[in-house]
Chains A and B, each alone.
Chain A
Amino acid sequence: MKFRTSCYSLSGASAVLCIFAIWASMNLDAPYYLAFDWLPKVGLRISFRVDSFSLFFVTLICGIGSLVFFFCAGYLPGDKSRSRTLSILLLFTLSMLGLVLSDNVLLLFIFWEFTTITSFFLVGAKCEKKEAREAALQALLVTVAGGMALLVAILLLFMAAGTLELSSLEANRQLIQDSPLYPVILILIAAGAFTKSAQFPFHFWLPGAMTAPSPVSAFLHSATMVKAGIYLLARFHPILGETVLWHDLLIGIGAATMIVGASLALARTDIKALLAYTTVSALGMLTFLLGLGTTLAMKAALVFLLVHACYKAALFMVAGSIEKLAGTRDLDRLHSLGKMSPALWCAAALPALSMCGLPPMLGFIGKELIYEAKLIAPTIDELFLLIGFTANALTVTAALLAAVKPFIPRTMDSPPKRKLTLPLLAPPIILGIVSLACGLFPTWVGDNLLEPSFQALKGEPSQIKLKLWHGVNPVFILSVLTLVTGALIYWIHSYFARMVSVVERWSSPFAPERLYAQLVKRFVQFASLQTRLAQNGSLNFYLTVTLCFASLLLAAAFFSLPEKAVDLSLLIHLKTSLIILGAAAAAVLSIRAQSMLEAVLLLGVVGLGVTLFFVFYGAPDLALTQFLVELLLLVLIASIWSRLPAFRPDTPKREKRRDLFAACILGVFLSYFVLQAVFLNEHNAISEFYAQNAATEAFGRNVVNVILVDFRALDTMGEITVLAIAMMGIMSLLKTRKTKR
């Protein structure tokens, strides 16, 4: 009971908001702005713009939303996660409202991403099913990819125009269109819109997302979220539109989507999948109209937006009710539903009439306008007219399939009547009545809702009156032909469906969903391969890689040096060369050592060589320190001698060769750079300073001591702390060993 109450109250609130939006749209003279700073450094302001075009979308969102919430009260009870679904639906509604009201593009993007995420949870609402989870993830990845494209476009837009407010972008239109970044911006924004609005070749996520509960599909996948892309394109039309690229891109993609969606729809036997593909086709139509961009086309797009939202949401709800009623959505198994529930048939029939475009529904006016726009558009081919015609005819067939076929009895015996609850029936019937009423009184809708929003979008009145009856003209003839063709195709639809399936099977290797799946699979394969190869747990290998890349860094530095010659005169000294040779020989021998003792001693010789260097080059204190360190190391190793494991030089040959290579490369580069730097040794500023000041400033004659306890006292203290910690660490590790034994 409590759940129903919350559904009803949400529904009521949305309805109030919807009516308020209509009232506001009628009375709004100029856009209303609301803004405050958020992060001005990156162009992020929280700024909203309320104009009639936004309000048109608000009306759609709240109107359909109100009915969907009402529908939920009948559909969702019995679902385990119903409260969660309802609250996410609410979140989604709010994000959608934010999206259409924001003036700042970045803010718009933020709400855009929120609709994506909330829709992810809504599509995955029946999460116990694996398909639902996969479909949710697919929808998410495709739309997020588009979102990322949009983000890049926004950043580029900021570079090109220096502002992110839609209202000021419109003023900078020329600047943006002249910018060399213009094509990139346009393509990226279009990519964002196309993924969201399920345009070919990104359309496949929408039918997949049909695992969502019916109210969700009615809301997200017909009326609101998928229209967000269309909203974006419409908003950007005054900024980026009316260029050849805009025209070709949108018309091409729109036409392809139209025909692909409509044909694939007929090959589906699941009602919701069928409806989803017709939605894809309708969205293609909208994109096409925006691509045309003429006054008539824009007006037609607005009308069609309203038409489509009304009939498609209703039909999705009907599909949900059918599932409740018959337990299946399979068209091949559904029949005689008209006898089971006449009320449901009535709920399905009205929207279906609008979808077919029969007078006196609003759908008829929409279709007339679209044909008119196409006929008088100066720039398009007859081919596009044909495509539009075919898509429309196929839509008629789809409407018949979805809303008539399941209700026709196949056998004579009548199934028992079943009553559906009011929340399941009322919303689609209301939507049907709205379509009818709008069709009967087109002037009212046109003047109060559509015309203001057109003006807000384009900045000038359209001079187009909506009328139900235009008389018999080419447009009307086309409409009638569409209906007849549609009905004919319905007659032979099983053949048609088989044909489409064959083509689909034949082209399946190139189908975008296959490509998507392949892409995801390949990438996961690549990821696991690289992890397996690179992260094999061998320290030896990790070190080798580090060495190699360090050499690479040095190699890059080497090639950037202007002067590559090396002064080798230092090596010519007898003493030096002897020491070097000795140390090098010891180092090489230590690699081939056969016992631990041998290896340690040979390394000691290397250290001794360094000590000798210090002795000969006037740093006896350093020499002493170096010698002591070498000694300390030896003592340390001796003290743990008994605990060390046996010495086994058992590295495989291949690894040895690899290590040798890495070591040589790094060695060569390091030596080279050190030799390059030899000339710097002439300066002796540091030691002189200490030698001069040790006695006078610090009253000590042993310079090394003075440096340690006076000049660098803080460092010494730090070193002592480090040593202390090191000791503590060693102690705790040794203690660990003891307790284990």
Chain B
Amino acid sequence: MIDFPEISWASIAPQTVILITALTVLAIDLLPRKIERINITLTALLGVVIALIFARNLTPAYETDFSGMIYRDGVSIYLDQLLLAGTALILLMSHRYAQFHPIAYGEYTVLLLFASLGMMTISISADLITLFIGVELLSLSLYVMSGMDKSSLSSGEASVKYFLLGAFSTGFLVYGMALLFGACRTSNLVLIGSAILDGGAGTPLLILGFALVLVGLGFKISLVPFHMWAPDVYQGAPTPVTAWIAAGSKIAGFAALLRIFSLPGISFEPFGGYWAQAIWWLSMLTMIIGNAGALVQNDIKRMLAYSSIAHGGYLSMAFTANNTVGLQALLFYLAAYLFMTLGAFAVVIAVRRNGRECLSIPDLAGLARQHPGVAGLMAVFLFSLAGMPFTAGFVGKLWLFGAAIQEKYYLLAAVGILTTLLSFYYYLRIIVFMYMHEPQKDAVFDAVPASGRIAAGLAAAGVLALGVYPNLLWKVLAAHTNGL
């Protein structure tokens, strides 16, 4: 008999449930009878909800498991819950979207679940190899998903661009990981951490490894100057996929950064000095270029792409600040970012005119008159993205800037605040169109479906709850970040 090592299956329960759900959906989809879309959506949603329940009931065990492959800590439990909530929202949005676009819905749902599984694999990984598998699972699923709208040429273009550039960045990532492995003689992140503590972080191989990993992950979270794929892909991909690239893939990218750069035991250590400086530059560039780019966009998806780039800049501030407040701020802002971004996309998906998507900003003119509820929700998301008080975005930004100022990164915080000012300009532009412009000639918006209302409503509830009562999350974060 083979002795199995001690494995706590409970700690990967959410991941397992998602995997089983994905396979179930795949099986259902392969049945010879035609399956209604609603059944697929409900099956997937059921799986996500069960996984969410499992994730909620997990207790963090601050040690590695599965022969050092995974590490179940509070942060990973938290991120799993975020990602699952996001998946549920995306499922709601996709359901409606597939009604109008020729998408193979069964396969699409399976891929979506696999992408989420990949993200959740990243969040629990304690080994470079597990992490890499997560990154690849997520990326490959998203590459395919971006090209799934067969009626649209730009969807295909987006897929090819995403794939080629993504494959290239994966090359950087895996090269970097190999060098880290070479430098520390282990792929286990905890052991890498202690090896660095023993031998110092300055050896050339380590520097090279970290630099290449940074390039690879910088691509995933679209830090300037590795962001250039984002606007093209966001614009071309089917809108729910865009939403999941914007929210899920970015959260996963930051989860990976957290895993590599703030491991248990070394907590941000490699970032001391040199790395903080590198991220400082990247986040400066990202905030400036991202916001400046968003300023001149006329396409909502492209605008949201730049806005998502810009938010990557704010988020990465936490790595420069490199302190506990920064880490908590990062985790909080990820939740805020998830809800406000997905909410905005949910509205973009829900609002259609004569059966077509309203993708340019002037298309939204007069929305408030016809659908005051939906326009109001959109206003909430935009205000949150801009950082208005009483929304999650404000608390998150305040927390992040506070962390930067605490470490005396004044210039960084100042640029953050100035670019926030800029962002008011382009977020409000949409509000101006929704509320202050006359509707275009004989333009009648279609009825907004229940699924869209539910998705946007839930996201808005998240944005407002976190904005009005941040303590909701604050206590959780304080407990989870204790182990670091």
Contact = CB atoms under 8 A, between A and B. Distances in A.
Interface of A: 37-39, 41-42, 44, 106, 109-110, 113-114, 117, 120-121, 124, 127-128, 133, 136-137, 140-141, 144-145, 148, 151-152, 155-156, 158-159, 523-524, 526-528, 530-531, 534-535, 537, 539, 541-543, 545-546, 548-550, 553-554, 556-557, 560-562, 670, 673-674, 676-677, 680-681, 683, 685-686, 698, 711-712, 714-715, 718-719, 721-722, 725-726, 728-729, 732-733, 736, 739-740
Interface of B is mostly: helix
A673 B205 contact: yes
Contact of A527 (B231, B296, B405, B474): B296
B137 A144 contact: no
Contacts of A719: 133
Contacts of B133: 715, 718-719, 721-722
Given A133-B436, A736-B150, A549 B137 contact: no
A715 B398 CA distance: 40
B40 interface: no
Interface stretch (B44-52, B90-98, B242-250, B417-425): B417-425
B461 interface: no
B141 A155 contact: no
B147 interface: yes
A554 B474 contact: no
A718 B421 CA distance: 44
Given A133-B432, A152-B414, A553-B211, A113 B474 contact: no
Contacts of B67: 711
A725 B111 contact: yes
Nearest to A147: B421
A527 B295 contact: yes
Contacts of B405: 155-156, 159
Interface stretch (B221-229, B252-260, B350-358, B442-450): B221-229
B105 interface: no
A542 B417 CA distance: 29
Interface string B151-163: 0000010010100
B413 interface: yes
Contacts of B207: 557, 560-561, 673
Contact of B436 (A124, A158, A526, A733): A124
Contact of B150 (A527, A561, A721, A739): A739
Contacts of B182: 677, 680-681
B137 A721 contact: yes
B62 interface: no
Most central of B214, B295, B390, B469 by chain A CB within 10 Å: B295
Contacts of A527: 292-293, 295-296
A159 B205 contact: no
Interface string B255-297: 0000000000000000000100110000000000100110111
Contact of A725 (B140, B148, B172, B185): B140
Contacts of A140: 424, 428
B389 interface: yes
29 contacts: A127-B432, A128-B436, A137-B425, A144-B424, A145-B421, A148-B417, A151-B417, A523-B295, A524-B296, A543-B165, A550-B211, A554-B208, A556-B274, A556-B278, A561-B204, A561-B207, A670-B208, A673-B204, A673-B207, A674-B205, A676-B205, A681-B182, A714-B66, A721-B137, A722-B137, A732-B107, A733-B144, A733-B159, A739-B150
A736 B160 CA distance: 14
Contacts of B129: 712, 715
Given A546-B168, A670-B208, A722-B136, A38 B144 contact: no
Contacts of A736: 147, 150, 156
Interface of B: 2, 66-67, 69, 104, 107, 110-111, 114, 121, 129-130, 133, 136-137, 140-141, 143-144, 147-148, 150, 156, 159, 161, 164-165, 168-169, 172, 179, 182-183, 185-186, 202-205, 207-208, 211-212, 214-215, 219, 225-226, 228-229, 231-232, 274, 277-278, 289, 292-293, 295-297, 325, 328, 383, 388-390, 394-395, 398-399, 401-402, 405-406, 413-414, 417-418, 420-422, 424-425, 428, 432, 435-438, 469-471, 474
A677 B395 contact: no
Nearest to B219: A546
Helix, strand, loop or mixed for chain A's interface? helix
A722 B130 contact: no
A677 B413 CA distance: 37
Nearest to B121: A718
Contact of A137 (B388, B398, B432, B470): B432
Nearest to B432: A133
Contacts of B471: 37-39
Given A523-B292, A543-B168, A670-B208, A534 B228 contact: yes
Given A155-B405, A718-B121, 14 more contacts: A41-B399, A106-B398, A117-B383, A133-B436, A155-B401, A159-B406, A526-B292, A539-B161, A545-B228, A546-B169, A548-B225, A681-B182, A722-B137, A732-B144
Interface centre among A121, A159, A714 (most CB of B within 10 A): A714
A113 B293 CA distance: 25
A437 B186 CA distance: 86
Contact of A535 (B169, B179, B231): B231
B232 A557 contact: no
Contact of A117 (B388, B401, B421): B388
Contacts of A528: 296
B229 A542 contact: yes
Contacts of B148: 732
A722 B274 CA distance: 35
B140 A530 contact: no
A550 B172 contact: yes
B165 A539 contact: yes
B424 A554 contact: no
Given A155-B413, A677-B205, A736-B150, A725 B137 contact: yes
B388 A537 contact: no
A113 B274 contact: no
Contacts of B215: 546, 549-550, 553
A586 B463 CA distance: 56
Contacts of B388: 113, 117
Nearest to B181: A686
B328 A677 contact: no
Nearest to B147: A733
Contact of B438 (A128, A155, A523, A553): A128
Contacts of B414: 152
Contacts of B226: 546, 549
B185 A683 contact: yes
Nearest to B417: A148
A561 B420 CA distance: 36
Nearest to B66: A714
Contacts of A537: 232
Contacts of B130: 714-715, 718
Given A546-B226, A677-B208, A714 B296 contact: no
B429 to A, nearest CB: 8
Contact of B402 (A42, A133, A539): A42
Contacts of B104: 732
A546 B424 contact: no
B442 to A, nearest CB: 18
A249 B85 CA distance: 52
Nearest to A152: B417
Contacts of B144: 725, 728-729, 732-733
Contact of A680 (B205, B231, B295, B406): B205
Q: Which 7 A-B pairs have the closest CB atoms?
A: A127-B436, A729-B144, A677-B205, A676-B204, A718-B133, A110-B389, A673-B208
B420 A148 contact: yes
Nearest to B141: A725
Which among A562, A676, A698 has the greatest number of chain B C-beta atoms within 10 A?
A: A676
B137 A718 contact: yes
Contacts of A127: 432, 435-437
A87 to B, nearest CB: 12
